[in-house]
Chains A and B, each alone.
Chain A
Amino acid sequence: MNKRTPLYQQHVNHEGKIIDFCGWDMPVNYGSQIQEHNSVRESAGIFDVSHMTVIDVSGEDARGYLRYILANDVAKLDKVGQALYSAMLNHDGHVLDDLIVYRIKSGYRLVTNCATRQKDLRWLIQNTDGFRVSIQEKSRLAIIAIHGPESITKCCELLSTENARMIRELKYFQGAEAGNWLIARTGYTGELGLEFIIPDEDAPRLWDQSIELGVTPIGLGARDTLRLEAGMNLYGQEMDESISPLSANMEKTIAYEHPNREFIGKPALIAHSELQKAGKIPVLKGLVLEKRGMLRTGQKVLTDSGEGLITSGGFSPTLKHSIALARIPVSSSSCEVEVRGISTPVRIVEPNFVRFGKRVFE
C-alpha cells in the first residue's frame, strides 16, 4: 500500500492522474501538463509536495552540527525564517542529498527529498557524535507550494490581514513562522511564490480555498518542466552519491568563507576543484535545441572535448523547443546530439533558461 498525503482526496476530486512516485500515490497531472505549466508562468498554481521529508534539528549544538554536516553554512541564517539551499555531502565530497534549511524558533528545519528519506535520517543520526542535538522527522507536516506571478496576491486573500502583511514583506529565501505554520518565499519553479509547511489537518482547507480563488492544481509532470526551465537540479539526475557538486552547478552553495570551518566532504572538494581545472571531472551546462526534436534524459552527447550525458531533458512549454541540463567536459565549446539517428548540433548555454516567465539565456 502506497503512502498518501493529506491532499490525496483533493487530487482524486480534481481528476488527477495518480502515479507511484517513490512509494507515494501522487498526481502527475490533472489533464494537461503543458496547461498546468503555463498557469504557473502566467498566473498561479498550487502544488502538493507533502511527500518531501521534513526533519527538525534542535538542541544547543544544532548550529555547530549543521555547520559540520552541510556544505553551505547555516551561520548565514541570522534571523528566524531565513532559508538556505545546501548540499549534504559524503566523505568523498559527493552529493548525498540537496535540501533547504530554514532557521526556526526551535532550531532548524530541513526539507530534503522523498526518495532519500531513510538514507538522510540514518546519515544525520550517524554523525551526531560529540554534538548535543536532537533529530526529529516531522511526518505530520504537509507542504503546499503556491507559485506564479499572481501567487502572492492570491495568498494574501487567503490569509489574515496580519499574515498577509507579513508575506508581502518577505524577500526571496525569507520566511516567517505564524503559529505552527512556516511560510517562506522558497520554491522550485523560477517564479514568485510561497511554500507553506503546515500541519496535515490544515492542508485540505488551504488547498480548497486556493482552488476557489482560481489557483490551478499542478502535478509532478509540470513541476519537473518548471524546475528544468529554471535550471534547478533534481536529486538522482543532476547529482547523486557519485557526483561532485562542482559537476552539478552547485559551486556557489559551497561556503568556504570561514577557513576554520570543517564540514563533511571539504577535503575531497578541494581535490575535485583541482581535478576540474585539469579537465578531469565534468561541468553542468544547459543545452538548447531550437528546431524540432527532443533532448531526452539519459541521452549521450558528443562535444569537441569528449562525451557527455543529458541529466534532464525535455520540452520547454515556455520556449516551445527542447532544453536540457547536461554534464559535459569542462572545455566543451560545441556539442552534438543524436536526434532519431541524425547527429544534430545543439547550443551550449548557462544552465538557466527561464525566470519570471522570460527567457534568460543568451
Chain B
Amino acid sequence: MSNIPDDLKYASTHEWISVNEDGLVTVGISDHAQEALGDIVFVELPEAGASVNSKEEVAVVESVKAASDIYSPLTGEVVEINESLLDSPETVNASPYELGWFFKIRMENEAELDDLMNSESYSEYCDNE
C-alpha cells in the first residue's frame, strides 16, 4: 500500500502538487509512481525560467525498468529545480514527497488546480489502474 498524503493534489500521470504559502507550487512524483518504476537511475529536469504548459512533458525519469515522462500539471514558469536529483536520483525512491521533489512553478491559472485529484480520488485511481 503506497503513501498518499492528504494535503497534496495529484495528476492522472502520477505527479503530486503542493500549493505553497508563497503562491508557488512544488511538483514531484507519487510514492505509487516511484514504487512502480523501481530504482531510479537518471533524472532530467526542465530549465529554471522555462515556460511550461499543463500536460506538457517537462522532465524524464529513467529507472532500472523503464523511462518515464514527467508532465507539468499546471501552466506557468519554472522558478526552481531540484538539482540534487541529477547526482542522487535515488532520493526520489527514498523520499518522494520531501527531498525528492522535481521543480517549482509559478502558476498562471489557479483554475487548473480544479482538474487535479485529491488524495481520496487518487487512491481510488491507483487501485483501479
Contacts and interface: CB of A to CB of B under 8 A. Distances in A.
A34 B42 contact: no
Interface in A302-335: 314-315
B39 A32 contact: yes
Nearest to A315: B41
Interface in B45-75: 60, 62, 64, 66-67
Interface in B84-101: 90, 93
Given A29-B38, A32-B39, A292-B42, A315 B62 contact: yes
A249 to B, nearest CB: 24
A33 B42 CA distance: 15
B38 A292 contact: no
Nearest to A292: B42
A294 B38 contact: no
A340 B90 CA distance: 21
Say which size band chain B's interface belongs to: 10 to 19
A34 B67 contact: no
Contacts of A293: 42, 62
A292 B62 CA distance: 10
A32 B90 CA distance: 10
A315 B62 CA distance: 9
A295 to B, nearest CB: 11
Contacts of B67: 294, 296, 340
Interface residues of A, number: 13
Contacts of A33: 38-39, 64
A187 interface: no
Interface string B92-126: 01000000000000000000000000000000000
Contact of A225 (B44, B60, B64, B66): B64
Contacts of B42: 292-294
Nearest to B42: A292
Contacts of B44: 292
A236 interface: no
Interface string B30-47: 000000001101101000
A32 B62 contact: no
Contacts of B60: 340
A34 B90 CA distance: 10
Nearest to A36: B39
Contacts of B90: 32, 34
